[in-house]
A and B are shown apart, each in its own frame.
Chain A
Amino acid sequence: MMGFDLTGWKAVFRREFKSYFASPLGYIFIVIFLLASGYLMVSRDFGRFLELRQASLDPLFDYFPWLFVVLVPAVAMRLWAEERKSGTVELLLTLPVTLAGTYVGKFLAGWSFLGLSIFLTWPAVLQVMRLGDPDWGAILCGYFGSLLAAGAFLAVGMLFSAASKNQVVAFILAVSASIVFLLLGLPETQETIGSYLGGFAEQIVQSLSMVDHFDVLKRGLLELRAVLFFVIFTLVWLVGGMLVLQRTKTA
């Protein structure tokens, strides 16, 4: 019985969030994320923040999805694979909590951790303020969109963590799936698909592209369609992951 009874999510959330800081993993992740996003933002080959001298965070936001593709699966991979490997899943799922509650609790813990990492890029905002008068709507929307995109990738990664006992396998599958969703956003991909399968297929691909929806938010447009895309995308992967876990928990 799965249902949407979320009994127990809070205790699971708290334990899981703390566990990111119980090992070096959490700290290493944050350091790598900040170094990588900072490098991509200012590098002459990528963000060219220093050359452009514009009061915009686009050079930062542009590369978030590409960072998430590799880094979010690293946050997601342990969430279920480790529980199943060590046998604690048996303990967890015989507590008076629901499977949905534990799944959502873990998701929110991972998402909060990613949110914290994203929040720690705030010095970039200070830098933008020194350069001029930034578009605060675009910055807030950009951060909001980054958070939504991180959650979407996390939901993808969690499903593969529920599917495999092996963290490395879960990581590789999650990165592969995430790349597919990111590549759907490249104009080259969309044109190729359009030329083979017609304009309708191209439109479908476009509507499934994370980058397209992320770009809308990044520009400061709080479009309902873009927000709904991320919310529905995330929910579908979460429910899918719960169904997978229901089948794999005893294996």
Chain B
Amino acid sequence: MSQEQGSPDVLIRVNSLSKSYGAIRAVDSISFEVRKGDVLAFLGPNGAGKTTAMKMITGFLEPDHGTVELCGHNVQEHPIQTRRNLGYLPENAPAYGDMTPRGFLEFIGEARGVADTPSAIDRVVEMTNLSEVMSQPIETLSKGFKRRVGLAQALIHDPAVLILDEPTDGLDPNQKAMVQDLLSSLSSDRCIVLSTHILDEAERIANRAVILSGGRILVDSTPTELMARAGQHNSVRVVFEDAVPSDILEAVQSEDWCSAASVDGTALLVEPVAGANVVNDLLNTINSFHARVADVQLTEGRLDDLFREITKGVAA
């Protein structure tokens, strides 16, 4: 009796998932699919429902309504089977503080029935750069090492599905970059769902961005597409050698590709219509004034701005 449906590449299928705590709808009927190779980033303010959604995907939390399928199996009906394919880093990377990373990973390996635990440990220790702290109690480790111990346990059985709740929270910039590179390298033959506050992180490693707020999916898109939607995307800042020629502002504002333009000292700021790239059009216009340009800067859209814009209405 096979439960496989549709594409075998679909590793996670979430179907109108809901969960309430009392009167609060923590997760409100969300649906999406994650395919092999996907890195999906959950974005959203605190309390948006990211953690609750992830807890239900792992099967730890029972949903009020809706279903979750991992690798074709319902997580509530086949908990043991689905958990074998799952690597999970819970919020704050909990671990047994009195154990050493080695003892802890041995326990996880045994509980997961990993065939060759010692070599599996060697593999994940190298991936997460843990070798120097393997014999220290976990409670004495720095936040960065603790987080990496949590990642190592999630990877020890080489799972098809990785669920990571804020994997880079509390790491310094170098460690963040290391974890982001690691996750990028892991994504080819599995799928990863992670939550983050850091929009740059989603931009760096995710190919899908889901913005949650008030338990609902507001946006399910790619980070690139989100950036295009961001208000400031492809805005151009032209710095002149002398003052901004007096008529340029009006001339630029009258062009149909310009949505807004302003002058800031010796610089001209131009926002294009619909995030289009208007550098050439703009320079043509400027050339007709024979003004000398010192510098041209193109600004990519910032997810932060879009994020604030999208979630503002919901929070109010």
Contacts and interface: CB of A to CB of B under 8 A. Distances in A.
B111 A23 contact: no
A240 interface: no
Contacts of B91: 87
B92 interface: yes
A91 B110 contact: no
10 contacts: A1-B76, A7-B80, A14-B110, A88-B94, A91-B95, A94-B59, A94-B88, A95-B111, A250-B60, A250-B61
Contact of B107 (A7, A11, A86): A11
Contact of A93 (B60, B107, B153): B60
Interface string B223-261: 000000000000000000000000000000000000000
A223 interface: no
B111 A90 contact: no
A22 B90 contact: no
Nearest to B19: A250
Contacts of A97: 80, 111
A10 B90 CA distance: 23
A8 interface: yes
Contacts of B111: 8, 11-12, 95-97
A90 B99 contact: no
A219 interface: no
B165 to A, nearest CB: 9
Q: Identify which of A90, A97, A98 gathers the most chain B CB atoms within 10 Å of its CB.
A: A90
B36 interface: no
Nearest to A93: B60
Nearest to B79: A1
A193 B1 CA distance: 59
A98 B80 CA distance: 7
B80 A91 contact: no
Interface string B92-124: 101111110001000110111100000000000
A98 to B, nearest CB: 7
Nearest to B157: A96
B190 interface: no
B58 interface: yes
Contacts of A12: 111
Given A88-B95, A250-B61, 8 more contacts: A1-B77, A7-B80, A86-B97, A90-B90, A93-B60, A96-B84, A96-B111, A97-B80
A192 interface: no
B143 interface: no
Contacts of B84: 96
B112 A94 contact: no
B41 interface: no
Given A11-B110, A90-B60, A91-B94, A250 B99 contact: no
A246 to B, nearest CB: 9
A15 interface: yes
B86 A94 contact: yes
Given A94-B60, A95-B112, A19 B90 contact: no
Nearest to A5: B80
B60 A19 contact: no
Interface string A216-250: 00000000000000000000000000000000011
A12 to B, nearest CB: 7
B107 A87 contact: no
Given A11-B111, A96-B112, A88 B80 contact: no
Given A95-B111, A250-B60, A15 B98 contact: no
A248 B96 CA distance: 20
A19 B113 contact: no
Contacts of A250: 55, 60-61
Contacts of A86: 94, 96-97
Contacts of A96: 80-81, 83-84, 111-113
